Amino acid sequence: MEIKDKVVVITGAAQGLGKNFAMDLAKRKARLALADINVELLEEVRKACEQAGTETRAYELNVAEEKAVEDFFNQVVQDFGTVDGLINNAGITRDGLIARSKDGEIRKMSLANWQAVIDVNLTGSFLCGREFFVKLLEQKKPGVCINISSLSRSGNMGQSNYTATKAGVAEMTVTWAKEMARHGIRVAAIAPGYINTEMTSAIREDVKQKIIDQIPLKRMGEPNEISHSVFYILENDYFTGRVIECDGGFRI
Ligand code: CAA
C-alpha cells in the first residue's frame, strides 16, 4: 500500500510511540485520524502533523468502550470519506510483581491493575480492529491493520497483566490475518523492545540499567526505529500474519 494520501487511524496518539507514528506518517503525507483519551496532548500532536502539511483530525476516544469505538469509526469515515489503515497502538502499563514479600510484608498485583490493562490493551485492540474491518468490508476495499505487541509478550518480570495482553495481541494478529486475507486486508504486528518513551521513563533507574545491560545493542530503541517497521508493514503487500520484533536483539 502506498502511504501518501491514505487515511490512517492511530490510537493512543497523544504521546509515546503513537505520537511518533503520527509525526512520521505526516511527513509521508498520510491523512491522519488521531485518537486518544488525553485530548489536550492530542491537540498538540494534531497541530504538529498539520504543520507538516497533511490533513489531520483529533478524536477523544476510550478504546475500551464498545459504543465509543463504533461511533469513532463511523465519524472517521464521515469526515475522511474512507479509511485505509489502523495502528492499534493505545496501551497502558500497571507494573507490579504478581506477589512479593519484602520487609515482612506481602503485596500482590490488584485485580483493578490486572483489569485496567486487559481492558485497554486487549479489549481495546479487539474493538478497534473489529470496527476497522467492518468499515473496510462496508466499503469493499483493502486495508492494513498494525497491532502493537511488545517484547514483553514473552514474559517480563513485573508485567503479568501487560504480558498477557501483548501475547494476546500478537496471536490475534495471526487469526485476523487468516480471516481477513480473502478481503484483501493485511494484518501484522510489531513487538518493540525497550524504546525511549514516557512509558519506559517511568521505570526505576536501577531496574532500567539492569535491563539495558541485557540488550545486545546496549541501548534502548528510538521511536523512529519503530516507525520504520510501520512503514515496512504498510508498504509490503506480501507481509501479513507476522510479528516484527524490533528490540535491539533482546530476548527476555
Ligand atoms: N529485569 C530484570 N530485573 C528486574 C526486572 C526486569 N524487567 N524487574 C524487576 N527486576 C528485579 C529488580 O531489580 C529487583 O531485583 P533485586 O531484588 O535483586 O534488587 C527484583 O526484580 C524485585 O523488583 P523490585 O525491587 O523493583 O520490586 P518492586 O515491587 O519495588 O517493583 C516493579 C516491581 C514495579 C515491577 C519494578 O521492578 C519495575 O518497574 N520493573 C520493570 C518492569 C518493566 O520492565 N516494565 C516495562 C515498562 S515499558 C513497557 O512496558 C513497554 C514495552 O513494551 C517493553
What's the domain count of the chain? 1
Residue 142 lies in a domain: yes
Task: Give the mean pLDDT of 159-166.
Answer: 98
Residue 24 lies in a domain: yes
- The reply to whether ligand 1 has any atom less than 6 angstroms from the CB of 100 is yes
Range of the domain at 229: 7-246
For residues 183-205, b (16+ Cβ closer than 10 Å) or e, as one string? Answer: eebbbbbbbbbbbebebbeebee
* Helix segments in the chain, DSSP class H: 16-27, 39-51, 66-80, 111-117, 124-139, 160-180, 198-201, 205-214, 223-235
**Cell numbers standing for residue 220:** 534502548
pLDDT score recorded for residue 168? 98
- The reply to whether ligand 1 has any atom less than 6 angstroms from the CB of 207 is yes
Residue 16 lies in a domain: yes
Q: Whose CA is nearest to atom 22 of ligand 1?
A: 97
- The reply to whether ligand 1 has any atom less than 6 angstroms from the CB of 196 is no
Neighbours of 210 (CB within 10 A): 12
Q: pLDDT per residue over 19-65, tens digit each?
A: 999 999 999 999 999 999 999 999 999 999 999 999 999 999 999 99
Distance 158 CA to ligand 1 centre (A): 5
Distance 207 CA to ligand 1 centre (A): 6
Residue 180 lies in a domain: yes
**Cell numbers standing for residue 77:** 469515515
Residue 251 lies in a domain: no
**Cell numbers standing for residue 175:** 487469526
Whether the model pTM is above 0.75: yes
Residue 234 lies in a domain: yes
Residue tagged active-site, from 59, 162, 232, 238: 162
Q: List the CATH number of the domain containing 224.
A: 3.40.50.720
Q: pLDDT per residue over 66-77, tens digit each?
A: 999 999 999 999
**Cell numbers standing for residue 232:** 515496512
**What's the rounded Cα separation, in Å, for the pair 230 and 237?**
13
**Catalytic annotation present for 238:** no
Q: pLDDT per residue over 164-211, tens digit each?
A: 999 999 999 999 999 999 999 999 999 999 999 999 999 999 999 999
Residue 192 lies in a domain: yes
Residue 173 lies in a domain: yes
Task: Give the mean pLDDT of 5-13.
Answer: 98
Q: Whose CA is nearest to atom 16 of ligand 1?
A: 207
